[in-house]
Amino acid sequence: SSQIVTKTNAFATRMLSGLKFLTYCCCQYRHLLELLKRTTVHGESNSALVIGPRGSGKTALLNWVLKELRKMKQVRENLLEVHLNGLLQTNDKVALKEITRQLQLENVIGDKVFGSFAENLAFLLEALRKGDRTSSCPVLFILDEFDLFVHHKNQTLLYNLFDISQSAQTPVTVIGLTCRQDILELLEKRVKSRFSHRQIYLMNSFDFKQYIRIFKEQLSLPAEFPDESFAQRWNNNVQRLPEDKTVQDTLQNLFHYTKDLRSLHLLLMLAVSNVTVHHPLITASDLQEASRQHRMDSRANIVHGLSVLEICLIIAMKHLNDVYEGEPFNFQMVYNEFQKFIQRKAHSMYNFEKPVVMKAFEHLLQLELVKPIERPSVRAQREYLLMNLLLDNNQIMDALQAYPNCPTDVKQWAASSLSWL
Amino acid sequence: MNTRQQNKITYSWYGKPMSSDRKLRTSQYKGILITSERSRTETCIQLGNFILVEGENADQPFVAQLLDLYEDGAQQKHAVVQWFSHITEIPQNKRKLLKREISPQEVFFDQVPGYDTDIAVETIIKSIMVIPLRLGEELPVMLNKEQTFYVKQSWDGKCFKALSPDTFSKLKEARKKEGGIPNSSNSLIPSDIISPLKKETENVVRSTTKPKNVELEIESKHSASKSSLAKERHSQRVANDVKTPTARKKLQLNSPIRSPKGRLLGSEVLELLDDLCDAVAPLEPSATKRRVKFTGILGSPPKIPCANEKSKSVLDTAEDWQRFKDTIQLSPHSKVSDSNEKAKNLNVKDDTISLIGYQKRCSQSPVLSPCSRRICVQKTNTRIAEQVSILNALELNQEEDFLSSSDSSYSSSSEEEKDDVLCTPEKKTKSSRTLSTPKSSRKSSVHTPAKTPKKTPLPGTPKTPRNATPEIPRRNHAAQKPASILEEARLRLHVSAIPESLPCREEEFQDIYNFVESKLIDGTGGCMYISGVPGTGKTATVHEVISCLQQAAENDELPSFQFVEINGMKLTDPHQAYVQILELLTGQKVTATHAAVLLAKLFNTPGPKRKTTVLVVDELDLLWTRKQNVMYNLFDWPTQKHSKLIILAIANTMDLPERIMMNRVASRLGLTRMSFQPYTYKQLQQIISSRLNGMKAFEEDAIQLVSRKVAALSGDARRCLDICRRATEICEFASQKRTPEIVRMAHITEAIDEMFSSPYINAIRNASLHEQIFLKAILAEFRRAGVEEATVQQVYHQHIALCRIEGMQSPTISEIMAICSRLGACRLLLVESSNKYLHMQVRLNISQDDVMYALKDE
């Protein structure tokens, strides 16, 4: 069993490292590699943006390129890297400090506690101005979540970085990573003019066949796996898996839903976690089950855990939505609707007191299945606060189907608001 | 300096006008009295004296020699000076011409044409020492650095020359004269000792300046305004010394620090003095006269300061005499003389402490006429000089002894200084002095670091070493040279590659050049506003103008000027502009508000020796503040009479002055405007061709294509160059296997497509199926509702309907929400915050047509 555990662990790491799938974007890879190589070898300044939706492998691509670059001796010893992230460096002041720290320039100042923002900027600009193309060590600036840097005041940092990259100073290359397609429209005209307009797009532009291949590659055990016979058995199984119709359907559904490879990883993780000593190979049903979990609607799940009274209230709200076409309602309306049902139709339901119903209603409020339109104020009575239902009819009906021991009259009532007439 | 400013200082003529010019209604004087009201001191500076003149930077006063003093018709007091340049005033690139280390104490005889030698008397700070030296000579080690400067070479703006014998002797003369002037605070050295024998001279200077140093040391403990108090006390002490040695001994008992050697002193000094006089007597018939002089002083204890001065100087000379005698006759006894001296200096200090009470009385009862006294002293001095030169000749044989003596006296004096510091009760300069002591007592003339700049104005005080600017580490491997023609082309096409000349901006260049040149020649100030869209060569043109002007100034075709550049984008706050300008102008680092005050003072007050400043303000619009005071000040300075400030302001918008500036700011900016038009395709073509410079890397048509494309879009030269650069890469990439080829139309087209194609269409085409259906559902919902906005719930229903038509499994709400947020993150959609869940509003960020076009082909 320990073997299985290690195997699963091996999977986990492999799946998260996620370098295999990049084979499809070799064009972008070459572009970026050449760009960075020229920076380090020739000391050429550049700026580029890597743009692609979330999970399309922007950071992975960059890391892959950097890994390749570091294999070259001439590059490894010649490149200074500065990694910034828009989520961490929330303003230029923090960013400047971080740059200074990563360039290891803070020791030059000695004991001096780092001064004001203005001093900092002047200091850094001075440092970068001093260098020149042929003698200074090139600096690679990597700005993750580039779009967040755009919102800094005056775009000072971006202006200065791009300005340096377009003037005869220390060679710098600025690589921005972002998922926003409209990023160029966010740059100020001066900043935009200084940006060299190299855009590397990562688009998940693979088709389903490639997707299946990626799926296989992700699941295959590597050659260095200790138990060779098992690895072979496992890999054979993985190769045969996509031939199964249900597996294909599952993957097709996921592929149609999203091309983001992180979803695939998540699905595979769920499937692989079912593997035990007694169940050593992954099967189609595992995948199907994983897919079911993966696609689960979170709100509908909450509905499963509600009491019958709460379900009744939700059904009452659904009817109100139908009648008033999505207009907001208040507790009193819901209570009236519920009362009508109790009086005329219900046989199995006990007639609850109003405060009890109110309690159930507030529980729904806490679960955020209903949401007040405006913030509750002290003056407004709770019964008359206007609400919106955050569930769709389809969700309610699906949830009712799956709800255990639901009274038949409630189900009937849910199906048609007019059935009791 | 600050205290000086707070002080009320009056300047009055010394003596009667020497001559007057009726026509010009000027009258000349031979000296000026500077009276400080608060401390009731009076300093007299005479023609030929060396002085410090207030500079634009409070830390760095100018050194000059007073040549003439006159009062003009408007009752204004003027002075004509000969300037001396400090090393910091010499352009950085010229300093290397010297090929040697320059001590901060060294100045250069200034022969730069164009500096105004006529200054207002009010700018004179105080008098100092300037000692001429031969080129090869070492600087004499002096403790009193702030008061003494050395001159070895002259500087005429282009090169350094050794002092001509004429100037050398003139300077020496001046110094001699200074030595003889009783009232000048530096009149204490018999400077005449400098003999033609160089080596020896130096030694003599070293040894003889010792006592003076001690004197001045005491003075410098007090602020400039207080120095004469010290003098008075000192002279009082001298008087006491001479008159009642025993009384002085009593005082010594009171002193806090006492060395056993100190006890030696008292009467011994007197004895030695007597000895000295005796020894000299046979050689010099007028020695008796000197004695008479002494007695004269003895007989008149209450004296006016001027008389005191004289007596002091007499005593000093006597001291020197003593030293000489020692070295000549008593070389084995040099130790004794050292200790004497030391002890005496201790006394000096003791007296300063204990004799404060005397000063008032002293200054109240003048008895002797200062004039006659001065003449006497002058005579004495010249006599002494004669004697010394004779003695010097004698000394030749005893150089060894002499050296040892001077060394020991040196070390002893440095000890004195330490003692001095320890027991000085003065607070004012104490801190800085204690700092400087350990350094200056070292033999090598290391200049004192970390001076408090305001209290001790010392030119060339190095800034705190901590401010050293850092550097990016050097690369380990040399950068590769471009190997192929495409790489070479890429290098030349990089925006950072600076071409020899800027093509297509000749007219603009000429306009700006003429503007700045005319202002430079006139010595006036002015503003020019330069506008143009990004990438039209504004900054590059201005830089080229400046470098041309600098070239011209170097060739002496134009008056030299200072160039300062700030960039609004490189400032964190508009007010930082002041800080940067001041730092670039003077090297001071101060806060923004203080910098504003200093700059206003600098530009609003007439200063001598000020060069014209050319200030380039890039990205002007970012200096906008609500009150616009930064812009106001910037444009107000050039209008001041004496500012000599030329501003070239650069921004993007043509109507910036009208749009964002208040009337008073816009009015000061003036109407000198220039606008850079975007480049036409022909110009862009020319720019590329000139950069390629005949290199066969591009097809002609390819260049034309890129020029036309960019000219049609923006006229941004940067864009043009970037496209060309990218095209070379594409070309290189495509032709890797085959023979190298040149960039063709196809490559350019590919590069342009890469840079300018809208990413949205491609993004939609590569989206997953459900994402595409979601977009379709949005279109359908928009069409149904007739409003370009819908809630997720509405779109969800459309989505499900579409899925049913397509026969696909419909997604759950959770999945729809995820799709929605993914498209929102790419900004294909604009979505509200997700806490509204089903009710959040969705809009398209691109036109519906684009979406339909992108989805149609599928």
Q: Which residue of A has its CA nearest to B470?
A: A127
State which H helix or E strand residue A249 sits in: helix A245-257
The first and second tokens of residue B521, run together, are 């020649």
Per-residue exposure over B324-353, b if at least 16 CB sit within 10 Å of its own CB, e if not: bbbbbebbeebeebbbbbbbbbbbbbbbbe
CB pairs under 8 A between A and B: 216
Residue B448 has pLDDT above 70, yes or no: no
User: Are the beta carbons of A42 and B732 closer than 8 angstroms?
Assistant: no
User: Are the beta carbons of B512 and B540 closer than 8 angstroms?
Assistant: no
Q: What is the 8-class DSSP label of residue B661?
A: S
Nearest by CB to residue B622, choosing from A103, A130, A154, is A154
Residue A368, min C-alpha distance to chain B (Å): 10
* Distance of alpha carbon B10 from alpha carbon B33, whole angstroms: 8
Nearest by CB to residue A134, choosing from B479, B535, B826, is B479
Average pLDDT, chain B: 70
Residue B792, min C-alpha distance to chain A (Å): 11
* Distance of alpha carbon B215 from alpha carbon B185, whole angstroms: 10
Interface check for A123 against chain B (CB to CB < 8 A): the answer is yes
Which has the closest alpha carbon to B185: B380, B80, B50?
B50
Task: Look at residue B546 in the predicted model and tell me its pLDDT.
Answer: 93
Contacts of A246 in chain B (CB under 8 A): none
Contact at CB, A298 and B793, closer than 8 angstroms: no
* Distance of alpha carbon A334 from alpha carbon A358, whole angstroms: 10
All residues at 6 or more sequence positions from A24 whose CB lies less than 8 Å from its CB, including other chains: A205, A206, A210
Amino acid identity, position A139: V
* Distance of alpha carbon B456 from alpha carbon A54, whole angstroms: 63
CA geometry: angle A215, A220, A226, nearest 5 deg: 160
Interface check for A133 against chain B (CB to CB < 8 A): the answer is yes
* Distance of alpha carbon B338 from alpha carbon B285, whole angstroms: 29
Residue whose token pair is 């079911």: A292
Contact at CB, A154 and B487, closer than 8 angstroms: no
B58-86 per-position pLDDT tens digit: 667 778 888 888 777 667 777 878 878 77
List A residues 318-377 in contact with B (Cβ-Cβ < 8 A): 326, 368, 371
Residue B101, min C-alpha distance to chain A (Å): 24
When mean pLDDT is compared across A324-333, B28-37, B227-236, B730-739, the lowest value belongs to: B227-236
State which H helix or E strand residue A92 sits in: helix A92-102
Which has the closest alpha carbon to B251: B237, B261, B264, B239?
B237
Contacts of A109 in chain B (CB under 8 A): 466, 470
* Distance of alpha carbon A345 from alpha carbon A338, whole angstroms: 10
Residue B487 has pLDDT above 70, yes or no: yes
Interface check for A30 against chain B (CB to CB < 8 A): the answer is yes
* Distance of alpha carbon B739 from alpha carbon B737, whole angstroms: 7
Contact at CB, A43 and B479, closer than 8 angstroms: yes
B313-340 per-position pLDDT tens digit: 444 444 544 454 444 444 444 444 444 4
Q: Give mean pLDDT, residues B446-464.
A: 37
Residue A53, min C-alpha distance to chain B (Å): 6
Task: Look at residue B597 in the predicted model and tell me its pLDDT.
Answer: 92
Residue A112, min C-alpha distance to chain B (Å): 8
CA geometry: angle B494, B496, B497, nearest 5 deg: 70
B67 three-class SS: strand
Contact at CB, B472 and A131, closer than 8 angstroms: yes
* Distance of alpha carbon B41 from alpha carbon B395, whole angstroms: 41
pLDDT per residue as tens, chain A (421 positions): 566 666 666 665 565 555 555 566 788 888 999 899 888 888 889 999 999 998 888 888 898 889 888 888 877 888 889 999 999 999 998 898 888 888 887 765 554 555 778 888 888 888 888 877 778 888 999 999 999 999 998 999 999 999 999 888 888 999 999 999 999 999 999 999 999 999 999 888 888 988 898 888 888 877 777 778 888 888 898 899 999 999 999 999 999 999 888 888 888 888 888 887 788 888 899 899 999 988 888 888 888 888 989 999 999 999 998 888 888 998 999 999 888 888 876 666 777 889 999 999 999 999 989 988 877 677 778 888 888 898 888 888 888 888 888 888 888 888 876 644 4
Amino acid identity, position B75: Q
Alpha-carbon torsion angle A57, A62, A64, A65, nearest 10: 140
B399-423 helix and B198-221 helix, angle to the nearest 10 degrees:
10
List B residues 698-727 in contact with A (Cβ-Cβ < 8 A): 716, 718-719, 722-723, 725-726
Helices of type H across B330-369: 334-354, 359-364
Query: Using 50, 70 and 90 to split pLDDT, how confident is the model at B441?
Result: very low
Residue B272 has pLDDT above 70, yes or no: no
Q: What is the DSSP string of B575-634?
A: THHHHHHHHHHH-----HHHHHHHHHHHHHS--TTPPEEEEEEESGGGG--SS-HHHHHH
User: Are the beta carbons of A17 and A151 closer than 8 angstroms?
Assistant: no
Contact at CB, A53 and B487, closer than 8 angstroms: no
List A residues 73-92 in contact with B (Cβ-Cβ < 8 A): 74, 77-78, 80, 92
Residue B457 has pLDDT above 60, yes or no: no
The first and second tokens of residue B563, run together, are 């160039």
Interface check for A401 against chain B (CB to CB < 8 A): the answer is no
* Distance of alpha carbon B2 from alpha carbon B735, whole angstroms: 72
A113 three-class SS: coil
A231 three-class SS: helix
All residues at 6 or more sequence positions from B202 whose CB lies less than 8 Å from its CB, including other chains: B137, B138, B140
All residues at 6 or more sequence positions from B631 whose CB lies less than 8 Å from its CB, including other chains: B620, B623, B624, B625, B661, B665
Contact at CB, B813 and A299, closer than 8 angstroms: yes
Helices of type H across B222-299: 227-243, 245-254, 260-280, 287-299
B563 three-class SS: strand
* Distance of alpha carbon A341 from alpha carbon B743, whole angstroms: 80
State which H helix or E strand residue B95 sits in: helix B92-95
Residue A265, min C-alpha distance to chain B (Å): 16
Task: Look at residue A162 in the predicted model and tell me its pLDDT.
Answer: 94
B153-190 per-position pLDDT tens digit: 777 766 777 777 777 777 777 666 554 444 444 433 44
Q: Which residue of A has its CA nearest to B791?
A: A326
From start to end of A56-106, where are the E strands?
A: 80-85
Q: Which residue of A has its CA nearest to B730?
A: A31
User: Are the beta carbons of B521 and B558 closer than 8 angstroms?
Assistant: yes
Cα–Cα distances in angstroms (integers) from residue B620 to residues A65, B485, B517, B576, B732, in the given order:
40, 40, 22, 13, 41
List B residues 588-607 in contact with A (Cβ-Cβ < 8 A): none
Contact at CB, B470 and A127, closer than 8 angstroms: yes
* Distance of alpha carbon B4 from alpha carbon B197, whole angstroms: 42
Residue whose token pair is 């020649």: B521
Interface check for B464 against chain A (CB to CB < 8 A): the answer is no
Contact at CB, B534 and A131, closer than 8 angstroms: no
Residue B390, min C-alpha distance to chain A (Å): 57
Half-sphere exposure of A215 (CA within 13 A, CB side): 29
* Distance of alpha carbon B84 from alpha carbon B167, whole angstroms: 13
User: CA torsion sign, A40 to A42 to A48 to A53?
Assistant: negative
All residues at 6 or more sequence positions from B188 whose CB lies less than 8 Å from its CB, including other chains: B179, B211, B212, B215, B216, B312, B313, B316
Which has the closest alpha carbon to A211: A275, A256, A246, A179?
A256
Q: Which residue of B has its CA nearest to A117?
A: B572
Interface check for A255 against chain B (CB to CB < 8 A): the answer is yes
A60 three-class SS: helix
